[in-house]
Amino acid sequence: MNMKKNLMLACLFFIFLSPIFAQQITDEEAIRKIAENILAQPVTQFVGVDNGVIYNSTEEIPDGVEVKFRSPLAEWHYSNGVLDMAMIRLGKYLNEQKYIDYAKNHVAFGFKNYEYFKNTFKNDRKHWHWPFGQLWNMKELDDCGAMGAAVIEVYQLEKKKEYQNYIDKAADHIMNKQDRLPDGTLCRTFPRKMTVWADDAYMGTSFLTRMGKLTDDINYFDESARQLFNIDNYLWCPEKQLYYHCYYTDFERNGVAFWGRANGWIIVSLADLIEAMPENHPKRKGLIQLLEKQIVGTSRWQNANGMWNQLLDKSDSYDESSITAMYVYGIAKAINNNWIDPCYASIAKAAWRTLKNNEITSDGRFTNVCVGTGISDDLPFYFNRPVGDNEKHGLGLIINAGIEMMKLNQSKK
C-alpha cells in the first residue's frame, strides 16, 4: 500500500514539475528552434496559382501560367531582408554555415528569376503584387531599404556584379530620389502624401548604415544620423515618452497611435547605427543619448509579464511579440556594447523570459506577432490588427533578440 502511495506521489510530483522542466530551454535551443523551422520552409520555389504545381525556377513555368511564391519567406519584402540579415548574424555567431546559406540562397533566387516577371507579364498590376516586383521597382523605402541592406551583407560574402549594381541603384534612390521634406527627412507618398513614418527610421537607415560600413564613406553615417534625429523631432511625445507612428505634414500634427512596432524600428535603427559608425563620429554620443531616452521611456509601459502592448499606452490592446523582441534587442545590444548602464538589463531579461517560454512553440513558431500595418486615423484599426501564425514580420526580430540575449547571459557567466 505504501509503495502504491509513494508511486502516486512520485507521479503527481512529475506531473506538476514537468511544465517547469519544459521551460528550462536554453537561449540557444530556443533560437535554433526558430531557425530550423525557417529552414524547413521553401524559399526558392514558386507554386501555380490555379494548378498548384510547384516550380523550382522560372525556367520550369509553362507559358501563361501565373505563379506565386510557395512561402511568404521567399518574397522580396522588407521583412525578408530583416530575416536574411538575422540568419547571417546567427550563422556567424553559432558558426553554422546553413543559416548563412539561407540568406545567400534567398537573394540568389531573386536575382536569378526576377527578369522573367519583369519582362513576361507587363500590365497595370501594382509592382508589389508581382513576385520580385519590389526588386526591379524602387518607388518607396519598403522596396529597397531592408532588402537592399540584406543584399549588401550577402555581397560581402559573394562579390557578384549584379549585387553591386543593385546596391548602387538602391543607394542612388535613397540618397537622391526618394521623396523628402524640405529639411531632408525621408517621407512617404502614400497613402497620404509627404507623411513621416517611424517605420522609415529603419527602412532608410538599415541600408544607409550598412552602406557606410561597406564603403567607409562617412556621408552614409551622417545621413543615417540626420534621419534619426529628424524623426525624433517629428514623432517624440515628451508626455508619453513614446514615439507617434506618423506625422502628417499637411495637418502639421501627429497621428493618433503609439504603435509598438513603429517604436521598435527606431530602437533597432539606433542600435545598428551606433554599432556600425566610427566611435569618433561627432553624432554618436547624441545617438546613444537618444537610445537611452527611448529605453527609459518605453520601460514605463512594460507589462507585469515583461511584454509590451500592440498600442504601447493602451493596456487593453494585446501583448505583441515583435515589439517585445525589438526592445530586447536594442536594450541587450546597448548593454553588450557598454553604451548604457547594465542596470537596464532587468528590462530585457523580463521580456526575454516571457518570449522564450511563452511565445516560441515546441516546433519553432513565433507567436502573437501583428501582421503588416500601415498608418490610420483611428485607434480601432490598430486594436483590431490580426496576429499571424508564425508571421514573417517577427522572425528576424526574435532571432536578433536571441543573439543579443545569448551574448548578455554568456557575459554574465
C-alpha span between 264 and 272 (Å, rounded): 12
Residue 16 in this model has a pLDDT that exceeds 70: no
Contact by Cβ (8 Å): 235, 247: yes
Pick from 328, 274, 253, 338: which is nearest to 298 by CA?
328
pTM greater than 0.85 (yes/no): yes
Q: What is the dihedral of CA 350, 83, 85, 270, to 10 degrees?
A: -50
Side-chain half-sphere CA neighbours of 170 within 13 A: 30
Quickly tell me which residue has 522580396 as its cell: 76
Only one residue has cell 517611424, namely 198
The Cα–Cα gap between 79 and 88 comes to 14
pLDDT digits (tens, 9 = 90+) for 340-365: 999 999 999 999 999 999 999 999 99
Nearest Cα to Cα of residue 317 among 270, 265, 379? 379
For residue range 173-219, list pLDDT tens digits in order: 999 999 999 999 999 988 888 999 999 999 999 999 999 999 999 99
How does pLDDT run across 21-59, given as a tens digit for each residue?
345 789 999 999 999 999 999 999 999 999 999 999 999
What is the 3 state secondary structure string of 146-191?
HHHHHHHHHHCCCCCHHHHHHHHHHHHHHHHHCCECCCCCECECCC
Q: Is the pLDDT of residue 14 over 80?
A: no
Q: Which domains does the chain have, with CATH numbers?
A: 28-43+72-412 (1.50.10.10)
Q: Number of C-alpha atoms within 13 angstroms, CB side, residue 279? A: 3
pLDDT at 372: 96
Count CB-CB contacts under 10 A for residue 175: 15
| Average pLDDT over every residue of 111-132 | 81
Residues 6 or more apart whose CB falls under 8 angstroms from that of 379 comprise 256, 257, 311, 314
Q: pLDDT band for position 5 (50/70/90)?
A: low
